[in-house]
Structure 1
Amino acid sequence: MPGTTPTSELRRRWRASALPELRGVVLDLGAGSGIAADHLASGVAWLALEPRRSIEPALRARLERRSGSRLLTAPAEAIPLESGSVDAVIASTVLCSVRDPARALDEVRRVLRPGGRLVFFEHVAGERGSWTSVLQAVYAPLSRLIDHGCDPHRDTAASIRAAGFASVEVKRMLTPGVLGTVEPLIEGVAVA
């Protein structure tokens, strides 16, 4: 079976390699528990964006512990920051959940300074016609209802490429999925 490394391990490795390199003001889209903050350099100003008014206790604790951090309560489609105000944006399994991926990516480009980077780790749609893609299409409506809007059948790589970044690097990976499927993942960097 392609890919024997579980998604959680791939995500952990990505965080450990991609996030410590970020500097300046870093926006964490859909910060969730705030685990990304644990991997950022101490001098980074971490902005945690969450659309929900009620946040996880782990996120609150990380915000309290990290100097220069701030919670922004808003959707990714309407980031409450000035244009060109951040050096990097983190998107870790969040672009599957936004209501309008193109609008969210437009907002990411807007708030990034020239040369700023979007670093991402996302699960994406399987190849068209594959058993994975068929299963994703079947359970996507349920997933959107019970998993914070997550649509596992999105072609997020295509959305990032179409968003108008100066350059986009995407690495595709496969990890074991359910019922004999594989879970397709991408990681990479898009530069404003």
Structure 2
Amino acid sequence: MSQPPYPSWQPWQGYNGPSMLASHADRERAVDVLRAGYGEGRMEREEFEKRVARAYAARTVGELALLVADLPQGPLPQALPVAHVPPAFLPVPRPRTNAKAVAAGVCGLLCVPTMGLTGIPAVVLGHVARAEIRSRGELGEGLALTGLVLGWLSTAGWALVVVLLTLVSLAAG
């Protein structure tokens, strides 16, 4: 039987020599390299089938090395180059939600169960949060507005209660 027209490169590193018997894992690795080469269009179907048949029939590591020597993934493992991704293709980081806006929204919603005690903190946190959101480009404008509106409604309600109580006490005497 004549030698195939494959380059006679060195056998895979890590083995003692071309006459070392090939394992099933060695054959499968060689077939995987051949499949990748065929998938990339580096050989015709007929050549691929012949090489796969020879890989399964190979007795030594040296025979397998010859079958994949002219393909990019064989016979030696190659490290993949680290590709630099241009900034234009990187995902844009999502801005975070302002914590004070969250606190303003929570305080505003708690105005009803606390009978308005969290109204003033909601107003203060809402104003501070809106200023930070504008300067930092953060998210949470809706939460800050919710806190502001509910806080001001609560504060206005308490102010109305105080005015009415004052009028009633003045009228009573």
Q: By the TM > 0.5 criterion, same fold?
A: no
- Give the structure with the larger helix fraction: 2
- Greater C-alpha radius of gyration: 2
TM-score, normalisation: structure 2: 0.17
- Give the structure with the larger strand fraction: 1
TM-score, normalisation: structure 1: 0.16
